[in-house]
Amino acid sequence: MDDGPEDDLSVTPPKECAAGLPAVRHALEYSLGQTSPRRTALTLLTMNQVDGTDCPGCAWPDPAPGHRHRNEYCENGAKHINDEATSRRVTRDFFRRHSVSELSRRSDRWLNQQGRLTEPMVKRPGSDHYEPISWHDALGLVATELTSLGSPDEAAFYTSGRVSNEAAFVLQLFARAFGTNNLPDCSNFCHESSGAALHETLGVGKGTVTLLDLEHADLILVVGQNPGTNHPRQLSALEQAKLNGARIIAVNPLPEAGLLRFKNPQKPRGVIGSGTQIADRLLQIRLGGDLALFQALNRLLLEAEDERPGTVLDQDFIRSSTTGFDEFAEHVRATTWKEACARTGLVRAEIEAVRDEVLRSERVIVCWAMGLTQHRHAVPTIREVVNFLLLRGNLGRTGSGACPVRGHSNVQGDRTMGVWERMPDGFLDALQREFGFDPPRAHGLDSVDTIRAMRAGRVKVFLGLAGNFVRAAPDSAVTEEALRGCRLTAHVSTKLNRSHAVCGDTALILPTLGRTERDVQESGEQFVTVEDSMSEVHASRGRLEPASRLLLSEVAILSRLARMTLDGTVDVPWDAFEADYGTLRDRISRVVPGFHDFNARVARPGGFCLPNPVNEGVFPTPEGKAVFTANVGDAQPVPPGHLLLQTLRSHDQWNTVPYTDNDRYRGIHGDRRVVLVCPDDLAGLGLAEGDRIDLVSVWTDGVERRAPGFEVVPYPTPAGCAAAYYPETNVLVPLDSVADVSNQPTSKGVVVRLEPAAP
Amino acid sequence: MSVVTEMVQVAVPVRTAYDQWTQFESFPRFMSRVGKVTQERPTLTHWTIRVGPLRRGFHAEVLEQHPDAHVSWRSLDRHLQHHGSVTFQSLALGRTTVTVRLHLVGWRGLGVPAPLRAVVRRMVRAELGRFQEYVEGVGDAGETWRGTIHDGRVLQLQKEPPDTPGWPHG
C-alpha cells in the first residue's frame, strides 16, 4: 500500500478507563471532519431514538422508549454513522483518475476516506478503470451473467450485517428463486460457533437475556469480549448492574480499558468523577483457555455440591429440564488441575475465587464474543459455558442466561430472515407455500466454502450485499485470488473499500442508500427494520437527503435484479416490494415464525421482542430438554519459538474499516502494523521493543503466510500470546483453520513466528 | 420490613378467581392505582402505578405461580422494594378467599414508617374490594395461561411454545 501510516509509531501506557469526555471529543472531531455541524447534529440526535436511525454499528439493544438518553450512542457509533453521512463524494472523475490497480495498493483507511459512492460503475474485462454505467445496464449485466451460468450454484450471494431485514429477505428469496442456497454471510466469521453450540444445547441459537436481565443479575461474566471498543453502550448496562449490586468478572487475555473502569459521559460521576469500576476481577487468560477454565469451574461446583449436597446445584432443574448430566459430570471430574492451569495460564486460586463468586450469586449471566467463537474448539467451549449456566439453573430466570454479543447491527436479523445456507425444511416449505416455487433443498455454501469454491472455479459470480468481504475473510491472499478468478463480482455498497479493487473479470459497484438517508419509493417514505442481539425488532428511518440522486435502496436494487434475472418465472411481486416495503413485511409475516402482524407490531414505539422459548420453560432440542455435554478441545499447539496470535480491532476502527492509525485505549498511536507481545516472551525470542519483524503463520499445508513489516510492542498479554490488528493480519489466518462444527475461521488462534523484517 | 396482609372473600370458584388475578394486564380495569401492566414474558411484568399525579414504573418478577393456589412476586425496583404473595383458598359453595401479603422493604431498604404502612393497608383493602366487585360481576375469566412457575422459572408451559425462528444464528 503506498499510503503509509499517519505518523511514526508512539506508544503510551494503556488506558485504565474507557469513554469519558475524550470519547465525546473524539466522536465530535471525527464527525465534524466528515460532514457539517447540521448533519452531525441530525444524525447524532436521531440515532437510536424511537422513529430515528438504528446505529449501523454493533447490535447492542436500545433501552425501552422513554428511557433513552438524548444522546443514545457511543463514540464508535457516532463515528460510524457520520462516516456514512460524510459529505465527501466519489464521482466518475475519481475513477478516471484512479485505476483499479492503484486502488488495490491503497490502504483500507484511504479508500474509506474518499467518501460516498454516487453512481453505478463497471469495470469491464481487460480494463483497469471503472466507468459509469446505467442502473438498467448494470443490473442487466448481472442478470445476463447469472442466467448464463451452468448451474445456479455457480453464484454466491453474500450479506453483511448492515443489511436490513427487508433487504435480507428479498436477497434470500431471489437467491432461492434463482435456484441456490449459496448464502454466505458475515456471521460465518463472527458468532457461527455460538449459534451452533446454543442450538445444540438449548434448542435456540440466540442469547436468552435482555437489558433488564443484565441490570438484575448478581454476577456477570464478560468473557472474550471487549465492550469498551466493540460494544461501548454495553458499559452503560454494566454500570447499572454494578449500581444495582452486581459483581462483574472479566475473562480476557488483555486488560482492556472498558473492562476496568467506565466514565459515563452522560453522568456527573463520569464527567468530573472517577467513573465506575467495571470488573471486580480480571482473569488474564491464555488465548483459547476458556474451555479449560469453565471445565475447572464446573468441576469445582460439582465438588462443592459433594461437600454440601442440595445447596449448590439446582437439582430440581437438572432433573426436570436437562439431559446428559451424568456423562458431563463424569467427564469434567476427570479434568486435572495441571491441565487447567497450563491451558488457562491461571493459578488454581484465581479459578477458586470465581467459584466463590458464583456460589454467592443466585443469578448469573455470561456474555461473550469473538474471544470464544474464533478458535477451533469454539463450539465445545460455548457448550461448556452452557453446562456452567445449567448447573445452578441460570437459564430461564430473570437476571440469568446466555448473552452472545453480536457486533454488527443486523447480523442476527439477517439470519432470522433466512440468510443461511442450511435453512430448515420448515422455512423452505413456508417460502414454497407463500410464493409458489420450489426452493432448492440441498445445503449451500457458507463464507469459507464460498472462497474454496471460487478458488476451484465452481463459483463464478459473487454478489456482495454490503460489507467488505475481501477484508473480512481470512487467508487474504487466497481470498483475493479466488475473487479475481470470478467472471463477475458485484458489490452493493455505500463507500469504497478493497472489495471494489480486488475484483473479477467484470466488476460492478452498485451504490446504495445508507441508514441515515431518506428512502422514498413509489408509495412514499419507507423505513426498514433490524433485530438486535436481544431479539428486539425495531424500525430505522433516515433523515438526510441521499448522497446522490442515483442511489437506489438495497430493496430496490435486489427487486429489480430479481425481476430482470427471473423474468417472470416465479410469481413474486418484486415491483410491489420495491414500491412499498410494507407489502414485503406482510409476506415476511407469513413466512418467518414470530413475525405475525409484522407491520402493526413494528410500528409500536420500540418495536417488538421475539420471545426466547428458554424463558418460557421450553428447550426445543430433540429431547425437549437442555443438554449437558462432555467437551474436549484445545487451541492450536504452539511449537517452541512461536506464539499464539489473536487478531483484533483497534479502538479507532469499525470492523474492517480503520478510521485512523490510533488505538488510544491500548496506547498505540500513529501505526497499525504493530504486534503486542508479552515482555517475558521478548527475551526468549531474541527480540526487543521497536524491532521490525514479519509475522509468519504456521499451518499444515506448508504454505508461507506472511504479514510483513510489524513493530514489536511489549504489552501486558499472557506469555505465549500475542495480538495484532485485523484486517492487516487476516493474511495469516489459513482458510482451512476453522472451528470444528461451525466452520468459522480461527482468527483468535493463529500460530505465528516473528522473523526479522527484510531491511 | 413491614408486612401488610389483607384478604377478601369472592363469590366465584377458586379457578375463576385465580385465572382473573393472573391476567395481570387486566388489572387497570378494576384497580384504580394501576395505570398499565405489560406481561413481557411469563415471569416478568412491567407495572405503572399512579398515586394522584405521580406515576412510577417498575418491573416485577413472578417467583412462584401455581394454578388455583398461589402467586408470589418481587419488585425489581431497587429504590422502592417490595415483594408479596397472593393465595387462593377454595371455600364451600363456590367461594374463594383471596389473601394478599405484601412485604414492604421501602425506599432503598430503609423500611416503611407506620403511617405509610397504614396508607398502604387501606389501599390494598380498597383494591381487593374492587377486584371482588369485578370478578363477581364478570363471573368468568375466560382463557388464560395456566402454566406453573417455580423459583422464577416456567416449569410447565401448558400451551404451545412461542413461535420463533428455530435455526442457529451466527
Give tens-digit pLDDT for B130-168.
Answer: 999 999 998 888 888 899 999 999 986 656 677 888 888
Q: Cβ contacts (< 8 Å) between B78 and chain A: which residues?
A: 243-245
Q: Which residues of A, range 150-189, sit inside 8 Å of B by Cβ? A: 185, 187-188
CB contact under 8 A, A195 and B147: no
Where residue B109 falls among pLDDT bands split at 50, 70, 90?
low
Contact between chains at B167 and A620 (C-beta distance less than 8 A): no
What band does B65 get if pLDDT is binned at 50, 70 and 90?
very high
Chain B residues within 8 Å of chain A (Cβ atoms): 40-44, 59, 61, 76, 78, 147, 150-157, 161-170
pLDDT above 50: residue A1: no
Residues of A in contact with B147 (CB under 8 A): 617
Q: Which three-class secondary structure state does DSSP give residue A440?
A: coil
Closest by Cα among A204, A372, A209, A369 to A292? A372
Among the residue ranges A36-45, A207-216, A452-461, A533-542, the one predicted with the least confidence is A36-45
Please give the Cα distance from A546 to A548 (Å, whole number).
5
Angle between helices A348-359 and A337-344 (to 10 degrees): 100
All 3 cell numbers of residue A585? 413485511
Measured between CA atoms, how close is B23 to chain A, in angstroms? 17
Q: Is the pLDDT of residue A2 over 50?
A: no
Q: Which of B42, B165, B169 has the CB atom closest to A616's CB atom? A: B42
Interface touch A316/B43, C-beta < 8 Å: no
Mean pLDDT of B42-57: 90
Q: pLDDT digit string (tens) for A625-659?
A: 999 999 999 878 899 999 999 999 999 999 999 99
- Residue A467 clears pLDDT 80, i.e. is over it: yes
Q: Who among A195, A427, A616 is closest to B169 (CB)?
A: A195
pLDDT value of position A700: 94
Q: Which of A188, A242, A616, A621 to mutate to test the interface with B (most CBs of B within 10 A)?
A: A616
Q: Say if residue B15 is exposed, middle or buried (CB neighbours under 10 Å; 0-12, 13-18, 19+).
A: middle
**Which residues, 6 or more positions from A87, have their beta carbon under 8 angstroms from its beta carbon?**
A34, A35, A36, A39, A115
Residues in chain B closer than 8 A to A316 (CB atoms): 150-151
Chain A closest-CA separation from residue B9 CA (Å): 32
pTM of the predicted model, to two decimals?
A: 0.95
Q: Are A719 and A342 in contact (CB under 8 A)?
A: no
pLDDT of A155 higher than 70: yes
Q: How far is CA A416 from CA A166, A515, A589, A590, A591, in A?
A: 11, 20, 12, 13, 11
Q: Does A288 have pLDDT greater than 80?
A: yes
Distance from CA of A496 to the nearest CA of B (A): 26
Which of A205, A396, A424 lies at the smallest CB-CB distance from B153?
A396
| CA closest to A610 among chain B residues | B164
Question: Nearest Cβ partner of B167 from A191, A420, A610?
Answer: A420
DSSP letter at A85? T
Taking contacts as CB-CB distances below 8 angstroms, the residues of chain B near A416 are 165, 169
* Reported ipTM: 0.89
Query: Any chain B CB within 8 A of the CB of A415?
Result: yes
Q: Is the pLDDT of residue A260 over 90?
A: yes
pLDDT tens, residue by residue, A417-462? 999 999 999 999 999 999 999 999 999 999 999 999 999 999 999 9
pLDDT score of A7: 65
> Which parts of A653-716 fold into alpha helices (H)?
679-685
**Cβ distance B95 to B12 under 8 Å?**
yes
Contacts of A468 (CB under 8 A, 6+ apart): A108, A160, A497, A498, A499, A655, A656, A657
**Using one digit for the tens of pLDDT, what is the confidence trace for A73-96?**
999 999 999 999 999 999 999 999
Task: Spell out the residues 6+ positions from residue A582 whose beta carbon is closer than 8 angstroms to its own.
Answer: A523, A599
A424 to B163: CB separation less than 8 angstroms, yes or no: no
User: Which chain A residues are closer than 8 Å to B156 by Cβ?
Assistant: 617
Provide the residue count of chain A: 759
Distance from CA of B73 to the nearest CA of A (A): 12
Res A487: pLDDT: 98
Amino acid (1-letter code) at residue B16? T
For A257, list phi and psi in degrees, rounded to 5.
-55, -45
How many CB atoms neighbour CB A637 within 10 A?
8
Query: What whole-number percentage of chain A has pLDDT above 70?
Result: 99
CA of A593 vs chain B CAs: smallest distance (Å)? 5
Q: Tens digit of pLDDT for each residue in A744-755?
A: 999 999 999 999
Tell me the average pLDDT across A677-686: 94
Give residue A192's pLDDT. Answer: 97
Question: Whole-angstrom Cα distance, residue B89 to residue A45?
Answer: 54
Question: How far is residue A115's CA from residue A133's CA, in Å, rounded to a whole number?
Answer: 19
> For residue A499, what pLDDT is reported?
97
**Sequence-distant (≥ 6) Cβ neighbours of residue B151 within 8 angstroms:** A314, A316, A393, A397, B63, B64
Q: Do B163 and A618 touch (CB under 8 A)?
A: no
Tell whether A209 is within 8 A of chain B (Cβ).
no
Q: How many interchain CB pairs under 8 A, A with B?
A: 118
Query: What is the DSSP track for A396-410?
Result: SSTT-EEEE--SSTT
A210-224: average pLDDT: 96
Q: Between chains, do B164 and A610 touch, taking CB under 8 Å as contact?
A: yes
- Which residues have CB under 8 Å from A115's CB, separation 6+? A86, A87, A88, A89, A90, A495, A496
